[in-house]
Every structure is written in structure tokens, then in C-alpha cells.
């Protein structure tokens, strides 16, 4: 069983309500919610998204946590993480992705069951550049997981960093690192989690064969704002990374 947590901050300015709708429809078509749970954490979205969430809650199995203000991605997702049950993996889901394969949650769970040292396993966007052919930070390694006769073969792509569009956190990893953290409202929670994952003795990977589409085309003022925040916080990110590595900052974060 897994818990899917999706943070939402849709406004009249960023115009993301349609992305949230498409993402939720995708989840309801590809996930068996008799076995898994969905929690949407709303960071004070616009009336259109609020109405959408309430309408979907009436007909679908989902829970909504409403915040009176935008508390950021990490703190919003943490509100879902704190509700996980013992041994329950957590999927951090962005609200701008369409997944085309069914039983993808079970595929992620199966990979972790085969190799409990998988800390974070994600679905891979088509615009990412990780590849076994590279010779830099983005170099990846295809890894065949242990196999018993009669079982399906599972191949994962081991990487340094899993883009957070859709990523499952191993319950055992969360026991070691606690909650997500980011300096401000946006950015670096995924990168910092990937570093903490490796320092905790786990590894990051993609389940690359699952077909997904990132539906936000970018180029908007909202995207430019996110890029601006990331650039401004790069020094803080490096300080945190170095602190984790040299042990002056604990990799375990409280909520």
C-alpha cells in the first residue's frame, strides 16, 4: 500500500487549475484506490481549484487538507507524510503530469521489494537528460534487480537525482531522513532529498519504462518566478548539501 500526496497551489495568475484536473483524472484512471490512498494538500488555491477538489472528493476516494496560505511544496507534502502508516511508502506527486500506464504504483513497490536499498524511485519525464552515455553528474546506470525464476524482470536507472514530478519514497528511507525540506516556498526539496537518500545508504533511480507526460509547457511568469527563486537560493542549497555531507547538518528533518 502507498499514499500519494499532491501539493496544489493554483492561482488566477499561474492558471494551473487545468493541470490539476488532468493530473487527478490521470490518477483515477491508473491507480487502484482500493489499495492506495490519495491526499491533496491545497495551499490556498483559487476558487476554481477549490471547487474542482470538492467535486472530485464527492465522487472519488481522496482526502483534502486545506491550508489558509501557501506554505510551500515541502511543508505541504509533509502534512501527508505525517499520515503514513508503518511500512507505507509515500509518493510525492506534482499536479502537472499525466501517466499513461496502469499499475505503475505496484511497479514502484515491486522494485523496492526486490531491492530495499532503493530510497527514491521516480517516473522519468521525456525532457530529462540522464543517460548511461553521459560522463557528468547526469550519467546513469541501468541496473537489473535480483530475480527469481518466474518473476518479471525489473530494470531501474540508477541516478544521482530524481526529478520530483512523481517519486516514491521508500518507507525505510523516511524512517531515516524524516520529512522534506526546502529553504523557501519552492525549489530544492527533491535535490536535497536525493542527497540525504544517498547519505542514508540508499540510492535513487527511475523506473524509466513507465510512460508519462509533463503537461506544463513552461515559459510562463510562474515558471520564471520559480527559476528566479532557485537561482537566489543556490548558495543556501550548497550550504545545506555541504552540511549534510560533512555531518554538521543532520540528514533527518523534523516536520
CATH number of residue 229's parent domain: 3.90.550.10
The number of distinct structural domains making up the chain is 1
Which of 101-105, 160-164, 215-219 is most confident?
101-105
CA distance 252 to 17: 34
Domain limits at 106? 2-246
CA distance 192 to 21: 29
| pLDDT beyond 80 at 17 | yes
62 and 40 in contact (C-beta within 8 Å)? yes
Q: pLDDT band for 65, please (50, 70, 90 cuts).
A: very high
**Grid cell locating 79:** 502534512
| pLDDT beyond 80 at 103 | yes
Residue 184: per-residue pLDDT:
85
191 and 181 in contact (C-beta within 8 Å)? no
**pLDDT tens digits, residue range 189-199?**
999 999 999 99
Model pTM greater than 0.85? yes
Q: What are the angstrom distances between the C-alpha of 22 and each of 27, 66, 99, 167?
A: 9, 20, 10, 18
170 and 202 in contact (C-beta within 8 Å)? yes
Residue 141 counted as domain residue: yes
Residue 226: per-residue pLDDT:
76
Residue 253 counted as domain residue: no
CA distance 137 to 233: 20
| pLDDT beyond 90 at 61 | no
| pLDDT beyond 80 at 152 | yes
Which is nearest to 190 in space by CA: 158, 168, 213, 161? Answer: 161
- Rounded to the nearest angstrom, the gap between the alpha carbon of residue 5 and the centroid of all alpha carbons in its chain is 8
Pairing of strands 141-144, 212-214: unpaired
Q: What are the angstrom distances between the C-alpha of 197 and each of 36, 168, 189, 239?
A: 24, 12, 12, 17
Q: pLDDT band for 161, please (50, 70, 90 cuts).
A: very high
Q: Side by side, which strands form the sheet with 89-93?
A: 63-67, 37-43, 2-8, 89-93, 166-169, 118-122, 203-206, 155-159, 141-144
Residue 81: per-residue pLDDT:
97
**pLDDT tens digits, residue range 170-226?**
999 999 999 999 998 888 999 999 999 999 999 999 999 999 999 998 878 878 877
For residues 75-79, average pLDDT: 97
Residue 254 counted as domain residue: no
Residue 53 counted as domain residue: yes
Residue 251 counted as domain residue: no
Crossing angle of the two packed helices 189-199 and 73-81, in degrees rounded to 10 = 50
Residue 230 counted as domain residue: yes
Residue 206 counted as domain residue: yes
**Grid cell locating 232:** 537566489
Residue 227: per-residue pLDDT:
80
Residue 51, SS3?
helix
**pLDDT tens digits, residue range 132-144?**
999 999 999 999 9
- Rounded to the nearest angstrom, the gap between the alpha carbon of residue 175 and the centroid of all alpha carbons in its chain is 17
Amino acid at each position: 500500500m502507498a499514499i500519494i500526496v499532491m501539493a496544489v497551489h493554483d492561482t488566477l495568475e499561474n492558471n494551473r487549475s487545468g493541470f490539476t484536473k488532468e493530473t487527478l483524472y490521470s490518477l483515477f484512471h491508473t491507480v487502484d484506490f482500493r489499495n492506495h490512498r490519495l491526499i491533496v494538500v491545497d495551499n490556498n488555491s483559487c476558487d476554481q481549484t477549490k471547487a474542482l477538489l470538492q467535486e472530485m472528493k464527492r465522487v472519488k476516494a481522496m482526502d483534502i487538507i486545506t491550508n489558509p496560505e501557501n506554505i510551500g511544496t515541502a511543508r505541504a507534502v509533509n502534512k501527508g507524510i505525517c499520515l503514513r502508516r508503518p511500512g507505507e511508502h509515500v509518493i510525492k506527486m506534482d499536479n502537472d503530469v499525466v501517466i499513461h500506464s496502469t499499475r505503475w504504483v505496484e511497479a514502484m513497490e515491486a522494485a523496492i521489494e526486490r531491492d530495499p536499498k532503493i530510497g527514491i524511485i521516480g517516473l522519468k519525464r521525456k525532457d530529462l537528460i540522464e543517460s548511461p552515455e553521459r560522463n557528468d553528474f547526469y550519467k546513469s546506470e541501468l541496473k537489473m534487480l535480483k530475480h527469481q525464476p518466474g518473476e518479471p524482470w525489473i530494470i531501474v536507472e540508477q541516478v544521482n537525482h530524481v526529478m520530483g514530478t512523481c517519486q516514491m519514497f521508500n518507507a525505510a528511507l523516511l524512517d531515516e531522513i524524516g520529512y522534506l525540506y526546502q529553504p523557501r516556498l519552492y525549489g530544492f526539496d527533491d535535490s536535497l532529498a536525493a542527497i540525504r537518500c544517498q547519505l542514508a545508504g540508499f540510492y535513487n533511480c527511475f523506473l524509466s519504462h513507465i510512460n508519462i507526460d509533463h503537461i506544463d509547457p513552461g515559459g510562463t511568469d510562474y515558471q520564471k518566478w520559480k527559476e528566479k527563486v532557485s537561482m537566489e537560493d543556490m548558495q543556501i542549497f550548497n550550504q545545506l548539501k555541504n552540511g549534510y555531507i560533512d555531518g554538521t547538518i543532520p540528514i533527518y528533518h523534523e516536520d
